[in-house]
Each structure stands twice: as structure tokens, then as C-alpha cells.
Structure 1
Amino acid sequence: MNTESYFNHPTFGMLFRICELEDKQELFTTLYAQRLFFIVNQDANGMSFESVTRMDARLKMENRLRQVRRSGAMAEFQVLQALFKRTFQ
């Protein structure tokens, strides 16, 4: 199953979806350098982009990892953990 998702931002170029954080909220990073991070929110008015620091993105993803581990979804946890290691270590 291919779960990769991309978004072409008019200013920052191609963004890569790292993970879903909450309902209708996802964490993206720039595709090539993975130095800029964005939280993308979707609502009735469309999409909004919030630029976050690397440390904030890491903390958000760590929180998501804890949520998934507590829920018992081990397959999803392993996928997220691999993405976390590839992105932040």
C-alpha cells in the first residue's frame, strides 16, 4: 500500500506529507531538503499552512507516536516510527 502524499505549494514547491497529526491536520515538509515544516489544516474555508520549526514538528510527531502506541495500532506505529527516524535522526 502506497501512502505517500505530496502537495505543490506555490511558494515552497513540492511538499511531502509526513503524517496525520489530528483530524484534518497533517504535517508536511519540503520534499528535497526537509528543512521547512508545515502544519496543514483543512476546514470548510479550505487549507491553511502554518510554518513550524523543526523542533516543533518533531514534538508534534512524537505526540502522534504516543497516541498511536496507546491506541494499540502497532502496524501504524511502526510506519510512523520509521518516518520519524528518517526525518529527524
Structure 2
Amino acid sequence: MSDENYLNHPSFGLLFRICLVDANRELFTTLYAQRLFFVVTTGENGLEFEPVSRADARIMVENRVRLLRRLGPPQDYDQLLTIYKQTFQ
């Protein structure tokens, strides 16, 4: 079973989900180039796309990695760490 999630952005095409940011917010990147990052918020009016810089996206993922290392299941931590390395290193 795959935990990969994709979303279609109206202008930039297919986005790949990197991680959950908080309750209704997730971090996505463009599927192929992985150069554009968006925080996608789920709300009453549907989805909202907020572009974020690569540096801000990296900080969000690093914070999530730290949280999962302390509190999350080991497999979630390992999976996000792999995505982090593929995306930012």
C-alpha cells in the first residue's frame, strides 16, 4: 500500500504531498522539478494554495521530522526523512 498523495494545482499541474504541517495544512511540491512549494489548506471553501519559498518549506519539513522523531511512529519518521533527503539534499 502506498501513502503517496497527489493533488492537481490549477496552474502548476500535479503536486506531490511532502508532509502534514498541522491539522488542516499540508506541504506539497511540484511533482517533477520539486522547485515550487505550496502549503495547501483545507477549509470550508475548498482548497487554498499558498506558495512558500524553498527555505520555508525546508524548515517546515525539518520541524515535522523533529516532531516525528520524538513522538511519531518510526516508519513515518523514516519515510519523511527519506523524502527530506530526496527533496532538499
Letter in 2 for 1:75: Q
- Is residue 62 of structure 2 the alignment partner of residue 62 of structure 1? yes
- Cα offset for 1:35? 0.5
Letter in 1 for 2:41: N
SS across alignment from 2:61 = helix
Letter in 2 for 1:83: I
Alpha-carbon separation, structure 2, partners of 1:43 and 1:67: 24
Unaligned runs of 5+ in 2: none
Q: Deviations over 1:23-72 (max 9, x none)?
A: 12111000111100000011122111110000000000000111111104
State the percentage of identical aligned residues. Answer: 54
**TM-score normalised over the length of structure 1:** 0.94
Unaligned runs of 5+ in 1: none
Alpha-carbon separation, structure 1, partners of 2:70 and 2:45: 32
**TM-score normalised over the length of structure 2:** 0.94
- Aligned-residue RMSD, C-alpha: 1.0
38-47 vs 51-60, greater mean Cα deviation: 38-47
Alpha-carbon separation, structure 1, partners of 2:73 and 2:31: 27
Aligned to 1:47: 47
SS across alignment from 2:57 = helix
Aligned to 1:82: 82
SS across alignment from 1:16 = strand
